């Protein structure tokens, strides 16, 4: 029986539902804990980031306009497909981090469980965060949460998958779209997750994944006028105060870096961080 050559995977960016190489043509080597070569990952440029923001901006209206039930079903589908590709993610995490199969499996399982958790909140969050306000007069006064728009994310840099999921999923619950800069050291799972998103009914542009240098991309993400909120959960090693100042110049909402093992743990606070409050008045029937 003749021998065959394996087909190594090419890890690209994920923008508007497609997988382009960086427009700059740049890439960088991803190595394992022993320094051995694993793959080349795209080194995203400022132009790639602008393209990703444009794709996310164009996807806000249809994604936020979908019913909360539909968004929940789409996010649950992501968890289903991720479960079906569990072995691949375990192998990638092992190769990048040197973790045992059990530890890598625990990370993948936690990532899947978080997708399910956030999927379940899509059609429940408005009831918890909104309310009917007591007012003097023949009116109903109702407060409801609405999406902020395009959320820029610097993903946690010390995990391969669960940190990325923990940062992206809550922003999607209420109808935001996302541009995320993945872990520079552990980028392979991010692009494999993008493949899951592309086959899980998530519309193109709703999630856009960039790999490369957070230090290079974060300033452009923070200062971009079409970024409406910024999650710096993975920016603890960057000059995040400068990023906050840049974001303030375009009135961008900022969720500062969080530290500790539970920094990106599932919470309603992470959902509400990317919502605006809308209050509606309606006259009561006088019949």
Residue 1's pLDDT band, with cuts at 50, 70 and 90, is low
Is the predicted pLDDT of residue 287 greater than 80, yes or no?
no
Whether 29 is covered by a domain: the verdict is no
Whether 23 is covered by a domain: the verdict is no
Whether 2 is covered by a domain: the verdict is no
Mean pLDDT, rounded, for 18-35:
96
Whether 241 is covered by a domain: the verdict is yes
Is the predicted pLDDT of residue 107 greater than 90, yes or no?
yes
Q: Are residues 220 and 46 in contact, defined by beta-carbon separation less than 8 angstroms?
A: yes
Is the predicted pLDDT of residue 285 greater than 80, yes or no?
no
Whether 166 is covered by a domain: the verdict is yes
Is the predicted pLDDT of residue 261 greater than 70, yes or no?
no
- Residue 181 pairs in a beta bridge with 154, 210
Residue 262's pLDDT band, with cuts at 50, 70 and 90, is low
Choose between 271 and 262: higher pLDDT: 271
Q: Are residues 185 and 161 in contact, defined by beta-carbon separation less than 8 angstroms?
A: no
Q: What is the CATH number of the domain that holds 212?
A: 3.40.605.10
Calpha distance 12→28 (Å, rounded): 11
Calpha distance 209→193 (Å, rounded): 9
Closest CA to 193 of 111, 74, 255: 111
Calpha distance 272→145 (Å, rounded): 8
Is the predicted pLDDT of residue 277 greater than 80, yes or no?
yes
Q: Are residues 176 and 53 in contact, defined by beta-carbon separation less than 8 angstroms?
A: no
CA–centroid distance for 181 within its chain: 9
Calpha distance 185→230 (Å, rounded): 21
Whether 255 is covered by a domain: the verdict is yes
Whether 31 is covered by a domain: the verdict is no
Calpha distance 160→89 (Å, rounded): 9
Structural domain count, the chain: 1
Residues sharing a CB contact under 8 Å with residue 121, sequence separation 6 or more, in sequence order: 72, 173, 268, 271
Q: Are residues 194 and 14 in contact, defined by beta-carbon separation less than 8 angstroms?
A: yes
Calpha distance 27→23 (Å, rounded): 11
Q: Are residues 172 and 19 in contact, defined by beta-carbon separation less than 8 angstroms?
A: no
* Whole-structure pTM value: 0.93
pLDDT tens-digit map of 176-200: 999 999 999 999 999 999 999 999 9
For residue 226, the enclosing domain spans: 38-283
Whether 242 is covered by a domain: the verdict is yes
By DSSP bridging, strand 253-255 and strand 275-283 are unpaired
């Amino acid at each position: 029986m003749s021998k065959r050559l394996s087909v190594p995977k090419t890890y690209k960016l994920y923008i508007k539902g497609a997988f382009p190489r960086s427009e700059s043509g740049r890439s960088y080597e991803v190595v394992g804990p022993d320094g051995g070569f694993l793959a080349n990952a795209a080194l995203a440029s400022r132009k790639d980031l602008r393209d990703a923001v444009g794709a996310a901006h164009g996807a806000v209206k249809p994604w936020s306009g979908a019913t909360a039930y539909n968004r929940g079903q789409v996010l649950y589908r992501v968890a289903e497909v991720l479960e079906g590709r569990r072995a691949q993610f375990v192998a990638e995490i092992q190769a990048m981090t040197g973790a045992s199969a059990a530890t890598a499996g625990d990370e993948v399982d936690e990532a899947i469980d978080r997708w399910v958790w956030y999927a379940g909140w899509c059609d429940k969050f408005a009831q918890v965060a909104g309310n009917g306000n007591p007012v003097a007069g023949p009116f109903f006064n109702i407060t409801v949460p609405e999406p902020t728009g395009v959320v820029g994310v610097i993903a946690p840099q010390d995990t391969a998958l669960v940190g990325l999921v923990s940062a992206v999923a809550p922003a999607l619950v209420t109808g935001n779209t996302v541009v995320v800069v993945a872990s520079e050291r552990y980028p392979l799972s991010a692009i494999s997750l993008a493949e899951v998103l592309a086959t899980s009914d998530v519309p193109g542009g709703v999630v856009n994944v960039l790999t490369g240098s957070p230090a290079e991309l974060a300033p452009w993400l923070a200062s971009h006028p079409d970024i409406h909120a910024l999650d710096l959960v993975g920016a603890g090693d960057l000059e995040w105060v400068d990023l906050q100042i840049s974001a303030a110049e375009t009135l961008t909402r900022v969720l500062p870096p969080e530290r500790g093992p539970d920094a990106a743990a599932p919470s309603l606070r992470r959902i509400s961080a990317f919502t605006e409050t809308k209050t509606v008045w309606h006259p009561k029937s006088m019949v």
